[in-house]
Structure 1
Amino acid sequence: MATTTESNPPAKDSKGLSSLNEFNLEKSILRRGLATAAEIDACKAHKAKLASKDESKGLLEIMVEARVLTKSQSMRLLKEAGEANRRVEIPGYQVIEKLGKGSMGVVYKARQTSVDRIVAVKILLDALAQNKEFIKRFDREAKIAAKLSHNNVVNAIDAGDVNGLHYFVMEYVEGGTIKDVLDKNEVFEEKMAIRIVMAVAEALAHAHQRGLIHRDIKPENVILTKDGNVKLADLGLARLTADEKWAMSEAGMAIGTPYYISPEQVRGQVDVDIRADIYSLGATLYHMVTGQVPYGGETAQEVMRKHVDKNTPFVPPDHLNTKLSSGLGVVVETMMAKNRENRYRNPDDLILDLKCLLQGESPMIAGQKPDDLATLAEGDVEDTSRGISEAQLIEVAGYVNGKQSVIVALAAILALSVITNVVVLATR
């Protein structure tokens, strides 16, 4: 389906909607669950009956009269249909329909005529296109996306501007998101959740290798395709880890989504790295397997405070959903450690533990923290001069003592093993 040309416009009803847009309107109403297909068909039949009597009424008007839609719903739909009716012309692309609207732009389904394939085209909102800073951000998103080429990432195809329209062409992906499933009050089975999160972790590993962080991992940004694949989408908040100028320009800003944001993002730290994405992925996994977000609250500020506050208790996912393995609980706790030094260092370490869980084995890295003693020895742990409390020092000391006890026990076992081997050899 391609956009019609001005020389041959489609017929319009009394509400000014073309037949093409009325078709898209029906799809929008069904997709949102505002009416059933039977209700729409009944209203369309009534519309046709009126037309046969030379009485013309728009479909929305009829649906309001039939109390299928409210007046406010019809006004909102009519406004959106009007926006969709605005001609979007980009050389080489034929716009088919509007897919959705975000904070930065409108996304359309289109056909790339040169290779006859379906793509998604994101257009910067008109209001934002008047601001050079937003244009810069939009272009930056396209350039960052172009740095990635992975099976688990929605890949970039093209970008540019024409006649005042700033556009970004992406791979078109059919499917729903994790959020769509959660919105139905469904909970993911453990192994299915692990496979999905592993795919996202592999996408993050690819981004990490290229010095990129996503900064907005959440259920609605993970697409579950119809063919069973997983795609990470929306790089609107992504940035290069090494871009210090960019980081400093956002210092003190809490960038991310409250339910899934990492503590360091809440604080507005400039040295955010891949471990922030691992935290957000952990919060997403938590939601997937429990049906609840890790931290709730009446306001965004309250939720974000809980991510940071060490005194706010963290309820392990396997305590909420007793069908989950304790291994998964430990993995999620490690992903969501408030102190990022206690999280997985990189996506590859996380992937290793997820593979262990899929094989029915205990995680190799989560809960072990083999580098903590070395970190303490190197003096990398915060001391009192950097604001660590006495209680925290006691906690660290207790942790180290516990580790030392384990090391002593292991050394004793190793020594006993060596002595036994010597005795065996001596008796041969």
Structure 2
Amino acid sequence: MPAKIVLKVTEGSLKGTEYVFTDRTTCIIGRGGDCNPRLPDDKDHSTISRHHCLLDINPPGMRVRDFGSLNGTFVNGKKIGQRDRTIAHREAIKAKFPEHDLKDGDTIRLGMTVFRVSITVPLACSVCSKELTGDGADGGLQTDGSYICTDCKSKQVQLEPVKKPQGADIKRCTNCGNEFPFDPDASEILCASCIENPLQLIKQEAEDDSVNIKGYKVINELGKGGMGAVYLAEQTGTGQKVALKVMLSSAAVNDRAREMFLREVENTKHLKHPNVVGLLDYGNSQGTFYFTLEYCEGGSVDKIMARKGGKLSVAEATHIILQALDGLIYAHNIQIPNVKLTNGSIVTINGLVHRDIKPSNIFYTDTPQGRIAKIADFGLGKAFDAAGLSGYTRTGSAAGTPVFMARQQVINFKYSKPEADVWAMAATYYFLLTGRFPRDFPKGKDPWYIVLQTSCVPIQRRNQAIPKNLAEVIDTALVDQPEIIFKTAESFKKALEGVL
């Protein structure tokens, strides 16, 4: 069972209604017809705005931010986020309102409606992070209040006793086996050396015949974040260069998270198309999640833009977008049979939606047939996010890239219709041609509120050299209120080809 957050209405006309969240998402609460949870548009909620506040959810974490409403949002009876009455609602985006962390038992009051927050976190083994069933009956309660699974408990009795430093427990690193002082409040099960040097971790594993990650020679680091790293590696035996992505177990991933991760990778490996970066291999080794992808030596499109002065010609940008749209058309229409869900049922998945199309997720690679554009991270971003590996950060970075998101996706990040990807592809095309985002995002203004309340700037205002007919198609593709015009990647591509 994953961590779960339940918002239960305890007062008001919606009393008894529950909203359950088990995955990473954002949502807007207000009277607007596009909000979820949606409040009644009646006299009891006349003080509530159409888009009143935003919830940023990553179970078991949750935050709330008022959108500068006239009457504020009440958390545990305390008002947060209220704007000055002399400031118009549309001007509220100029103000920065703080986010508030919510805990189990907290309440949110909006008009006459009161939500109570209930947070459930499953028990997990303090050594290997395996999820424990029931009340931990399959493991044992430790003196520090933590639990240990049966497997780790049986292994623990075989270890030589270690003198316990005052104020710390002793644990054994799941990678190198060395013992180290372990803070009972911490979640890491790797020693400091393995956490701080993931490159060395991979090299050690590559040379160790007992682990599954063997067979790859690390060449150099391509990038590193707080939870993992990406390396250029060479597959021994074939010499094929791959992008090796590694996620460390310091996120304390549980059994359900592993299952979700592997299920998502299982889905992604079915994507076999020239314009989608292919998944080659994946696994878990000594507390380390990893997978390998096709290596695109041309790099990501945003870096290509930077090398060419910040924008691309109509010809080059169009070449990239038409090929990327082919990748979208394929993914949106793929059928993946016999997928086992967590409840045990077997279903056929009809289409995969990316949800984070942007220039940094489109790559170039050279082939005998010429230069090809490929969409990267198709579904893997969602997989790591669901597995708790992306971390929990402030709104604006955790749930995607709002500058390339349609308002429908801002209102509900889990919005997964193909048209959201089509809109993002049009926004990416706009960016390639102008070096600017479709909407203006002035410094200091709330980017989420800007997406909700403003329209895109016509592309010819950014670049007058763009042909009029092409500009009209792009502008049409970026309409997202009240709805997105182009519902499919096929229709957008057909419209582009009609004016090129």
Mark the CA change 1:342 to 1:83 in structure 2 (over 3 Å): closer, same or farther.
closer
Alignment correspondent of 2:470: 328
Whether the 8 Å CA contact 1:152–1:231 is kept in 2: the answer is yes
SS for the counterpart of 1:183 is helix
Q: Does 1:291 align with 2:406?
A: no
Q: Does 1:255 align with 2:399?
A: yes
Change (3 A) 1:107 1:340: farther
Secondary structure of residue in 1 paired with 2:243: strand
- Structure 2 letter corresponding to 1:187: K
CA–CA distance in structure 2, aligned partners of residues 340 and 144 of structure 1: 32
Q: SS of 1:237's equivalent? A: helix
| Native 8 Å contact 1:107 1:122 kept in 2 | yes
**Deviation of residue 233 (structure 1)?**
0.7
CA distance in 1, matches of 2:326, 2:429: 15
Q: Secondary structure at the match of 2:404?
A: coil
Superposed displacement of residue 80, structure 1:
11
Give the corresponding residue for 1:267. 411
CA contact (8 A) 2:282 2:291 kept: yes
In 1: Cα distance, 2:226 partner to 2:321 partner: 26
Write out aligned runs for 1:350-389 (5 A). 350-358=492-500
Distance, in Å, in 2 between the alignment partners of 1:158 and 1:340 is 42
- For residue 84 of structure 1, report the CA deviation from its aligned partner: 2.3
The answer (yes or no) to whether the contact 2:219–2:232 under 8 Å persists in 1 is: yes
Equivalent pairs, count: 267
Work out whether residues 146 and 155 of structure 1, in 8 Å CA contact, stay in contact via their aligned partners in 2. Answer: yes
Structure 2 residue 319 is the aligned partner of structure 1 residue 195? yes
| CA distance, structure 2, for counterparts of residue 299 and residue 237 of structure 1 | 27
Contact 1:198 1:351 in 2 (8 A): yes
Corresponding residue of 2:93: none
**Greater relative contact order, per chain length (Cα 8 Å cut-off, separation 6+):** 2
Worse-superposed segment, 255-264 or 334-343: 334-343
| Candidates 438, 441, 459, aligned match of 1:317 | 459
TM (normalized to structure 2)?
A: 0.49
Alpha-carbon offset, residue 226 of structure 1: 4.2
Q: What is the distance in 1 between the residues matched to 2:195 and 2:287?
A: 21
Taking a change above 3 Å as real, the CA distance of residues 161 and 290 of structure 1, as seen in their structure-2 partners, is: same
Question: Residues 314 and 130 from structure 1, CA distance in 2 versus in 1: closer, same or farther, beyond 3 angstroms?
Answer: closer
1:105 matched to 2:228:
yes
Residues 302-356 of structure 1 show CA distances to partners (whole Å, capped at 9, x for unaligned) of 22222222xx243211222110011221221222111374421211111112222
Shift of 1:232: 0.7
Question: SS where residue 425 of structure 2 aligns?
Answer: helix
| Conserved? CA contact 2:248–2:287, under 8 Å | no
Letter of the 1:205 counterpart: I
How far residue 263 of structure 1 moved from its aligned partner, in angstroms, is: 0.9
Q: 1:85 aligns with which of 193, 196, 200?
A: 200
Give 1:52-71 correspondences, 5 Å limit.
Answer: none
> What amino acid sits opposite 2:316 in the alignment?
M
Asked if 2 retains the 8 angstrom alpha-carbon contact of 1:100 and 1:107, the reply is: yes
- Do structure 1's residue 345 and structure 2's residue 487 form an aligned pair? yes
Deviation at 1:298, TM superposition (A): 4.8
**1:174-223 CA distances to partner (integer Å, 9 max, x unpaired)?**
11222113335422111221111111111110110121000000111111
- Whether contact under 8 Å (2:198, 2:228) holds in the other structure is no
State the Cα RMSD in Å: 3.0
Does the 8 A contact of 1:193 with 1:289 survive in 2?
yes
**Which secondary structure does the structure 2 equivalent of 1:107 belong to?**
strand
Describe how 1:111-190 pairs up with structure 2 within 5 A.
111-128=234-251, 130-132=253-255, 135-136=258-259, 138-184=261-307, 185-190=309-314
From the superposition, tell whether residues 187 and 324 of structure 1 become closer, same or farther in structure 2 (CA, over 3 Å).
same
Q: In the alignment, which residue of structure 2 is the partner of 1:409?
A: none
Mapping 1:210-221, distance limit 5 Å: 210=334, 211-221=351-361
- Residues 104 and 349 (structure 1), Cα distance of their counterparts in 2 relative to 1, 3 Å cut: farther
More displaced stretch, 333-342 vs 206-215:
333-342
* Alpha-carbon contact 1:295-1:303 (below 8 Å) kept: no
Quote the Cα distance in structure 1 between the aligned partners of 2:451 and 2:305.
21
C-alpha distance in 2 between matches for 1:237 and 1:191: 30
**Aligned pair in 2 of structure 1 residues 98, 328: CA closer, same or farther (>3 Å)?**
same
In the other structure, the counterpart of 2:451 is 307
CA 1:189–1:161: 2 relative to 1, 3 Å: same
Aligned to 2:333: 209
- In the TM superposition, residue 135 of structure 1 has moved relative to its aligned partner by 3.8
Alpha-carbon distance change, 277 to 104 in structure 1, aligned in 2, over 3 angstroms: farther
- Distance in 2, Cα, partners of 1:84 & 1:140: 26
Whole-angstrom CA distance in 1 between matches of 2:215 and 2:200? 19
Greater helix proportion:
1
Residue in 2 aligned with 1:232? 375
Give the CA deviation at 1:136.
4.6
Mapped to 1, the partners of 2:444 and 2:418 lie a distance apart of 23
* Structure 2 letter corresponding to 1:186: G
Measured at CA, do residues 230 and 316 of structure 1 come closer, stay the same or move farther in structure 2, by a change above 3 Å? same
Q: Distance in 1 between matches of 2:227 and 2:488?
A: 30
Is the Cα–Cα contact under 8 Å of residues 456 and 479 in structure 2 kept in the other structure? no
Find out whether 1:276 has 2:435 as its counterpart. no
**Which amino acid counterpart does residue 299 of structure 2 have in structure 1?**
G
Comparing 190-199 with 339-348, greater Cα deviation is found at 339-348
- Matched to 1:206, the amino acid is Y
Name the residue aligned to 1:5.
none
CA distance in 2, matches of 1:80, 1:189: 43
Larger radius of gyration: 1
Alignment check: 8 A CA contact 1:128 1:135 kept:
no
1:298 to 1:136, Cα distance in 2 relative to 1, 3 A = farther
Q: TM-score by structure 1 length?
A: 0.56
Q: 2:477·2:486 contact (CA, 8 Å) conserved in 1?
A: yes
What runs of 5+ residues in structure 1 fail to find an aligned partner? 1-78, 240-251, 359-428
